[in-house]
Structure 1
Amino acid sequence: MMKKSLLAAVLLSFAVLPAIAAAETWKNVPLIDHNCVDKVKSDPDQHETSCLIKCAKSGYGVLTSDGTWVKLDKKGNEEALAALKATTKTSGIRVTVEGERSGDMIKVSSLTID
Protein backbone atom coordinates (compact mmCIF):
# COMPACT_ATOMS: atom_id res chain seq x y z
CA MET A 1 0.00 0.00 0.00
CA MET A 2 2.86 2.38 0.84
CA LYS A 3 4.47 1.75 -2.56
CA LYS A 4 1.21 2.52 -4.37
CA SER A 5 0.78 5.77 -2.43
CA LEU A 6 4.35 6.81 -3.15
CA LEU A 7 4.00 5.94 -6.82
CA ALA A 8 0.75 7.91 -7.04
CA ALA A 9 2.40 10.94 -5.41
CA VAL A 10 5.35 10.81 -7.80
CA LEU A 11 3.11 10.48 -10.85
CA LEU A 12 0.91 13.32 -9.67
CA SER A 13 3.92 15.59 -9.18
CA PHE A 14 5.01 14.94 -12.77
CA ALA A 15 1.52 15.76 -14.01
CA VAL A 16 1.56 19.11 -12.19
CA LEU A 17 5.06 20.18 -13.27
CA PRO A 18 4.20 21.03 -16.90
CA ALA A 19 1.40 23.34 -15.78
CA ILE A 20 3.70 25.15 -13.39
CA ALA A 21 6.55 25.35 -15.87
CA ALA A 22 4.31 26.67 -18.66
CA ALA A 23 3.53 29.99 -16.92
CA GLU A 24 5.49 32.89 -18.42
CA THR A 25 5.76 36.64 -18.00
CA TRP A 26 6.27 39.14 -20.80
CA LYS A 27 7.41 42.47 -19.34
CA ASN A 28 7.14 45.89 -20.94
CA VAL A 29 6.09 44.59 -24.37
CA PRO A 30 4.14 46.63 -26.92
CA LEU A 31 0.39 45.98 -27.09
CA ILE A 32 -0.77 45.98 -30.73
CA ASP A 33 -4.12 45.21 -32.32
CA HIS A 34 -4.31 42.70 -35.17
CA ASN A 35 -5.43 45.31 -37.73
CA CYS A 36 -2.35 47.45 -37.22
CA VAL A 37 0.41 44.96 -36.42
CA ASP A 38 2.05 45.13 -39.86
CA LYS A 39 1.80 48.95 -40.00
CA VAL A 40 3.28 49.67 -36.56
CA LYS A 41 5.59 46.70 -35.97
CA SER A 42 8.71 48.72 -36.82
CA ASP A 43 7.81 51.53 -34.38
CA PRO A 44 5.11 50.29 -31.99
CA ASP A 45 5.53 53.14 -29.52
CA GLN A 46 3.99 55.56 -32.06
CA HIS A 47 0.75 53.54 -32.11
CA GLU A 48 -1.98 55.67 -30.58
CA THR A 49 -4.21 54.51 -27.76
CA SER A 50 -7.29 55.76 -29.60
CA CYS A 51 -6.44 53.47 -32.53
CA LEU A 52 -5.98 50.51 -30.19
CA ILE A 53 -9.44 51.13 -28.78
CA LYS A 54 -11.03 51.58 -32.23
CA CYS A 55 -9.49 48.32 -33.46
CA ALA A 56 -10.45 46.27 -30.38
CA LYS A 57 -12.66 43.88 -32.35
CA SER A 58 -9.66 42.70 -34.39
CA GLY A 59 -8.05 41.38 -31.21
CA TYR A 60 -4.88 42.28 -29.35
CA GLY A 61 -1.46 40.75 -29.11
CA VAL A 62 2.00 41.60 -27.86
CA LEU A 63 5.22 42.04 -29.76
CA THR A 64 7.84 39.79 -28.18
CA SER A 65 11.55 40.60 -27.96
CA ASP A 66 12.24 38.52 -31.09
CA GLY A 67 9.69 40.54 -33.11
CA THR A 68 6.93 37.94 -33.06
CA TRP A 69 3.34 39.10 -32.58
CA VAL A 70 1.52 36.72 -30.24
CA LYS A 71 -2.24 37.11 -29.87
CA LEU A 72 -4.07 37.26 -26.56
CA ASP A 73 -6.98 35.01 -25.62
CA LYS A 74 -10.49 36.32 -24.89
CA LYS A 75 -9.66 37.20 -21.27
CA GLY A 76 -6.51 39.00 -22.38
CA ASN A 77 -8.46 41.00 -24.96
CA GLU A 78 -11.04 41.99 -22.36
CA GLU A 79 -8.35 43.03 -19.84
CA ALA A 80 -6.44 44.94 -22.52
CA LEU A 81 -9.51 46.91 -23.62
CA ALA A 82 -10.45 47.76 -20.02
CA ALA A 83 -6.89 48.91 -19.30
CA LEU A 84 -6.79 51.00 -22.49
CA LYS A 85 -10.04 52.73 -21.60
CA ALA A 86 -8.68 53.53 -18.13
CA THR A 87 -5.23 54.82 -19.10
CA THR A 88 -4.26 58.44 -19.67
CA LYS A 89 -1.42 57.47 -22.02
CA THR A 90 -2.06 58.58 -25.59
CA SER A 91 0.47 56.28 -27.31
CA GLY A 92 3.30 53.85 -26.65
CA ILE A 93 1.21 51.33 -24.75
CA ARG A 94 3.41 48.68 -23.20
CA VAL A 95 2.12 45.93 -20.97
CA THR A 96 3.19 43.16 -18.67
CA VAL A 97 1.39 39.91 -19.38
CA GLU A 98 1.39 36.75 -17.31
CA GLY A 99 0.04 33.55 -18.76
CA GLU A 100 0.71 30.41 -20.72
CA ARG A 101 1.76 30.47 -24.35
CA SER A 102 0.40 27.80 -26.64
CA GLY A 103 1.52 28.24 -30.24
CA ASP A 104 0.59 31.73 -31.41
CA MET A 105 -1.67 32.56 -28.44
CA ILE A 106 -1.24 33.51 -24.80
CA LYS A 107 -3.80 32.28 -22.29
CA VAL A 108 -3.70 35.36 -20.08
CA SER A 109 -3.84 35.21 -16.30
CA SER A 110 -3.12 38.94 -15.86
CA LEU A 111 -2.38 42.02 -17.96
CA THR A 112 -1.34 45.47 -16.77
CA ILE A 113 -0.22 48.61 -18.59
CA ASP A 114 3.31 49.61 -17.64
Structure 2
Amino acid sequence: MRILASLLAVGLLALPALAATKSFNDVSVVDVSCSKKVAANPDAHTRSCALACEKSGYGILTADKQFLKFDAEGNAKIAGALKASNKADHLRVDVSGDVVGDTLKVTSLKLL
Protein backbone atom coordinates (compact mmCIF):
# COMPACT_ATOMS: atom_id res chain seq x y z
CA MET A 1 0.00 0.00 0.00
CA ARG A 2 2.86 2.37 0.84
CA ILE A 3 4.51 1.65 -2.50
CA LEU A 4 1.29 2.45 -4.34
CA ALA A 5 0.90 5.71 -2.43
CA SER A 6 4.52 6.65 -3.20
CA LEU A 7 4.09 5.92 -6.91
CA LEU A 8 0.90 7.98 -6.99
CA ALA A 9 2.61 10.92 -5.29
CA VAL A 10 5.53 10.81 -7.75
CA GLY A 11 3.07 10.61 -10.66
CA LEU A 12 1.18 13.68 -9.47
CA LEU A 13 4.40 15.64 -9.09
CA ALA A 14 5.40 14.73 -12.64
CA LEU A 15 2.14 15.95 -14.22
CA PRO A 16 3.24 19.60 -14.58
CA ALA A 17 6.29 18.37 -16.49
CA LEU A 18 3.97 16.92 -19.13
CA ALA A 19 2.64 20.38 -20.00
CA ALA A 20 4.52 21.94 -22.89
CA THR A 21 5.09 25.70 -22.73
CA LYS A 22 4.64 27.26 -26.15
CA SER A 23 4.45 30.67 -27.74
CA PHE A 24 2.20 31.46 -30.68
CA ASN A 25 2.74 34.67 -32.63
CA ASP A 26 0.24 36.41 -34.88
CA VAL A 27 -2.40 33.65 -34.67
CA SER A 28 -6.16 34.03 -35.08
CA VAL A 29 -8.30 34.14 -31.98
CA VAL A 30 -11.92 32.98 -32.24
CA ASP A 31 -14.68 31.92 -29.91
CA VAL A 32 -15.31 28.22 -29.36
CA SER A 33 -18.81 28.40 -30.91
CA CYS A 34 -17.48 29.64 -34.24
CA SER A 35 -14.14 27.82 -34.31
CA LYS A 36 -15.17 25.16 -36.85
CA LYS A 37 -17.31 27.52 -38.89
CA VAL A 38 -14.52 30.07 -39.45
CA ALA A 39 -11.55 27.68 -39.62
CA ALA A 40 -11.11 28.24 -43.37
CA ASN A 41 -11.00 32.05 -43.00
CA PRO A 42 -10.62 33.08 -39.34
CA ASP A 43 -9.59 36.64 -40.23
CA ALA A 44 -13.14 37.30 -41.46
CA HIS A 45 -14.53 36.45 -38.01
CA THR A 46 -15.78 39.68 -36.46
CA ARG A 47 -15.13 41.16 -33.04
CA SER A 48 -18.88 41.66 -32.53
CA CYS A 49 -19.51 37.95 -33.12
CA ALA A 50 -16.65 37.00 -30.79
CA LEU A 51 -18.10 39.20 -28.06
CA ALA A 52 -21.62 37.86 -28.64
CA CYS A 53 -20.28 34.32 -28.21
CA GLU A 54 -18.13 35.16 -25.16
CA LYS A 55 -19.81 32.55 -22.94
CA SER A 56 -18.54 29.72 -25.15
CA GLY A 57 -14.94 30.73 -24.42
CA TYR A 58 -12.06 31.53 -26.75
CA GLY A 59 -9.05 29.91 -28.30
CA ILE A 60 -6.59 30.13 -31.14
CA LEU A 61 -6.30 28.51 -34.53
CA THR A 62 -2.68 27.49 -34.98
CA ALA A 63 -0.79 27.54 -38.27
CA ASP A 64 -1.51 23.81 -38.66
CA LYS A 65 -5.28 24.47 -38.17
CA GLN A 66 -5.38 23.01 -34.65
CA PHE A 67 -7.78 24.74 -32.26
CA LEU A 68 -6.50 25.27 -28.71
CA LYS A 69 -9.04 26.45 -26.14
CA PHE A 70 -8.02 29.02 -23.55
CA ASP A 71 -8.25 28.33 -19.84
CA ALA A 72 -10.40 30.60 -17.63
CA GLU A 73 -7.60 33.13 -17.17
CA GLY A 74 -6.98 33.30 -20.91
CA ASN A 75 -10.70 33.76 -21.57
CA ALA A 76 -10.81 36.68 -19.14
CA LYS A 77 -7.73 38.30 -20.69
CA ILE A 78 -8.95 38.09 -24.29
CA ALA A 79 -12.49 39.17 -23.39
CA GLY A 80 -11.08 42.31 -21.78
CA ALA A 81 -8.79 42.98 -24.74
CA LEU A 82 -11.64 42.53 -27.24
CA LYS A 83 -13.93 44.84 -25.29
CA ALA A 84 -11.21 47.52 -25.18
CA SER A 85 -10.41 47.17 -28.88
CA ASN A 86 -12.13 48.81 -31.83
CA LYS A 87 -10.93 46.27 -34.41
CA ALA A 88 -13.76 44.98 -36.56
CA ASP A 89 -12.14 41.71 -37.68
CA HIS A 90 -8.73 40.14 -38.35
CA LEU A 91 -8.45 39.28 -34.64
CA ARG A 92 -4.91 38.12 -34.00
CA VAL A 93 -2.86 37.60 -30.86
CA ASP A 94 0.57 36.82 -29.53
CA VAL A 95 0.00 34.30 -26.76
CA SER A 96 2.04 31.92 -24.67
CA GLY A 97 1.29 29.30 -22.08
CA ASP A 98 1.28 25.63 -21.23
CA VAL A 99 -0.44 23.29 -23.65
CA VAL A 100 -2.29 20.51 -21.85
CA GLY A 101 -4.25 18.36 -24.28
CA ASP A 102 -6.37 20.76 -26.35
CA THR A 103 -6.21 23.58 -23.78
CA LEU A 104 -3.78 26.48 -23.56
CA LYS A 105 -3.17 27.66 -19.97
CA VAL A 106 -2.43 31.28 -20.88
CA THR A 107 0.47 33.03 -19.19
CA SER A 108 0.63 36.05 -21.51
CA LEU A 109 -1.61 37.42 -24.21
CA LYS A 110 -1.54 40.49 -26.44
CA LEU A 111 -4.21 41.40 -28.98
CA LEU A 112 -2.51 42.68 -32.12
1:1-114 to structure 2, matched below 5 A, reads 18=17, 22-114=20-112
Counterpart CA distance in 2 for 1:49 and 1:30 is: 12
Larger Rg: 1
RMSD: 1.5
Runs of 4+ in structure 1 over 6 Å off: none
Q: Work out the number of aligned pairs and report it.
A: 97
C-alpha deviation, 1:98, in angstroms: 1.0
TM-score, scaled to structure 2? 0.82
The superposition leaves residues 9-66 of structure 1 with CA deviations (integer Å, 9 ceiling, x where unpaired) of xxxxxx8xx48x9321110100010111111110000000000001010010100111
Q: Normalising by structure 1, report the TM-score.
A: 0.80
More helix by share: 1
